[in-house]
Structure 1
Amino acid sequence: LLLSKGAEVNAQGGELGTALCAASYRGRDKTVELLLSKGADVNAQGGPYGSALQAASYGGHNKTVELLLSKGAGVNAQGGQYGTALQAASLEGHDKTVELLLSKGVDVNAQGGQYGTALQAA
């Protein structure tokens, strides 16, 4: 309804950065699909998680992670306080999400964020 009334799908602000990051953080797959179909930028940066993929990984929402990756989310994107999606998933102990990201070719030694590497976050 909000989008049909002219709400900007890629608007930045608030606690989580973008609507796509917020929906991904909460694992709301249908909302993520809707936002992407309405032109949401799958790689938009903003908020504490950096990107929607990092937010979904932090929450351990594997279906959302797979959806975002299938729509072109950068598996090695850097940003936010956790650095990468792998670091965010590792920090929270989401083993299945870590396995999923590793299967997609994520850089296991990427440096950045508050913890430095995924191993340090784990």
Structure 2
Amino acid sequence: AALFGGHDQVVQMLLAKGADVNTPGGYYGNVLQTALFGGYDQVAQMLLAKGADVNAQGGYYGNALYPASYRDYNQVVQMLLAKGADVNAPGGKYVSSSGDVDH
């Protein structure tokens, strides 16, 4: 809920208390994918700083690179790549074979 509400301070508090940055989710994938899908690039950067798995698979987009690219978060995409994001990883249900996001 804090992710989708854009409550950066609540997310910071949860992270300070040891919240798992790699918690799997449902529709949107893990917490990193959810933050990116929701348009919260600052939260995504906090999660990356705490060690979020950049290659975790799940949700309708497959991995974090797809929602970050779709939203044109170039700085976040660069961070994902610097942390080892796999550009050849398969996408999810909403990613076509050409890599385009369809939703």
* Corresponding residue of 1:105: 84
Following the alignment from structure 1 to structure 2, what is the Cα–Cα distance between the partners of residues 118 and 26?
32
In the alignment, which of 63, 68, 75 is matched to residue 96 of structure 1?
A: 75
> Size of the alignment, in residue pairs?
101
Moved over 4 A (4+): none
Cα distance change of structure 1 residues 92 and 62 upon mapping to structure 2, 3 Å threshold: closer
The alpha carbon displacement at 1:117 in A equals 6.5
Unmatched tracts of structure 1, length 5 or more = 1-21
Deviations 1:63-122 (A, max 9, x none): 211211111210111111111111122233333332332232211111031115683328
Cα distance change of structure 1 residues 117 and 41 upon mapping to structure 2, 3 Å threshold: farther
* Corresponding residue of 2:59: 80
The CA RMSD measured in Å over matched residues stands at 2.4
Unmatched tracts of structure 2, length 5 or more = none
Cα distance change of structure 1 residues 55 and 102 upon mapping to structure 2, 3 Å threshold: same
- Contact 1:86/1:118 (<8 A) preserved: no
Cα distance change of structure 1 residues 121 and 99 upon mapping to structure 2, 3 Å threshold: farther
Larger Rg: 1
- Between 1:59-68 and 1:45-54, the stretch displaced more is 59-68
- Normalized against structure 1, the TM-score is what? 0.68
The alpha carbon displacement at 1:26 in A equals 3.7
2:100 corresponds to 1:120: yes
